[in-house]
Amino acid sequence: MALRIFHLPSVQILCVFLLTCKVGFAAADSVTGLKLLEAGVHRENLALLAIPMVPIQILLPLIISKHTAGRSPLDIFLKAYAPRLLLGLVFMLVLKWTYLVKNPDGTFPFYYYAVIVLVYAVHQVTVYCIFVSLMAFFARVSDPAIGGTYMTLLNTICNLGGNWPATTALWMVDSLTFKSCVGASQGWPLCSSKEDLETCTSQGGTCKTYIDGYNIEMVLCILLGFLWLLYARRRAHWLQSLPQSAWKCT
């Protein structure tokens, strides 16, 4: 049955759409939390910040679903896409700010966590706009004769479209980070591998990051995201304009 669904031209184009739509969010979604931990924010504090998000995550689908009913549920997706991309720049600024407001004892002031909650709340709005919009579109186009299988298949493709960019971003961030050894007794310049780090440390030096791969990834992802949006805007309108018969495989 899944193969019959994949044979539909409309589904093939939708799969390309879903497998590429989250490339622009890869660095922001998968690397930001790790960079905050690296900056000194305690894991348990980040976990506690998820508590204020719970009522937001409950209410947002109820609110957004009112705007995704009808023939054009992907319109909300397109409206939320650019703001979610731009939030990547906000995450970069927040990370820079994290180092500036960090107290000498390694703690952070209360207002820092308030800002983090606010930024993540706005981020959740864009995340749920995109999520609910896609789910509403899946529900509209799924063949009623095999609705459950159809929905599950499209949702699986959507999840894959989010997982592979995140995995790639995590894999590449170290490769795009450039460090140098400072203060080594024998002038050891390298600090790009674990062995280099051990050599640098043994010579009394420390590894200093002068180009953070997170920033490179973030800018690259945002640029790719806006390029994708130029392509996808017309494609999304085309997918929504297809008759129901274009999605039926029975």
Predicted confidence (pLDDT) per residue in 16-57, tens digit: 999 999 999 999 999 999 999 999 999 998 888 888 889 988
- Residues 143 and 250 sit within 8 Å (Cβ to Cβ): yes
How many domains are there within the chain?
Answer: 2
From 124, 147, 154, 135, select the one nearest 68 (Cα to Cα).
135
Question: Where in the sequence is the domain holding 186, given as residue range(s)?
Answer: 178-211
**Rounded Cα distance, 160 and 168, in Å:** 12
pLDDT, residue 220, reads 96
Confidence of residue 147 (pLDDT cuts 50, 70, 90): low
Q: What is the mean pLDDT of residues 86-90?
A: 96
Examine the domain organization and report whether 87 and 24 are in the same domain: yes
**Residue 127 above 90 pLDDT?**
yes
Examine the domain organization and report whether 225 and 203 are in the same domain: no
**Rounded Cα distance, 7 and 224, in Å:** 28
Q: Give the number of other CB atoms < 10 A from CB of residue 212.
A: 19
Examine the domain organization and report whether 169 and 133 are in the same domain: yes
Confidence of residue 97 (pLDDT cuts 50, 70, 90): very high
Confidence of residue 188 (pLDDT cuts 50, 70, 90): low
Mention every residue, 6+ apart, whose C-beta is less than 8 A from residue 186: 203
- CATH of residue 28: 1.20.1250
Give DSSP secondary structure letters for the chain: -HHHHHTSHHHHHHHHHHHHTTGGGHHHHHTHHHHHHHTT--HHHHHHTTTTHHHHHHHHHHHHHHHH-SS-THHHHHHHHHHHHHHHHHHHHHHHHHHHH--TTS---HHHHHHHHHHHHHHHHHHHHHHHHHHHHHHHHS-GGGHHHHHHHHHHHHHHHHHHHHHHHHHHTTTT-EEEEES-TT---B-SSHHHHHHHHHTT-EEEEEE-HHHHHHHHHHHHHHHHHHHHHHHHHHHHHS-GGGG---
Examine the domain organization and report whether 161 and 232 are in the same domain: yes
Examine the domain organization and report whether 170 and 227 are in the same domain: yes
**Could you give the percent of the chain with pLDDT greater than 90?**
57
Examine the domain organization and report whether 42 and 143 are in the same domain: yes
Predicted confidence (pLDDT) per residue in 198-242, tens digit: 777 777 777 777 888 899 999 999 999 999 999 899 999 999 999
Examine the domain organization and report whether 106 and 146 are in the same domain: yes
Tokens of 225: 């995201």
Examine the domain organization and report whether 196 and 237 are in the same domain: no
Tokens of 124: 């959740």
pLDDT, residue 201, reads 77
> Is 250 a domain residue?
no
Q: What is the mean pLDDT of residues 150-158?
A: 91
From 178, 180, 137, 175, select the one nearest 155 (Cα to Cα).
137
**Rounded Cα distance, 79 and 59, in Å:** 19
pLDDT, residue 184, reads 67
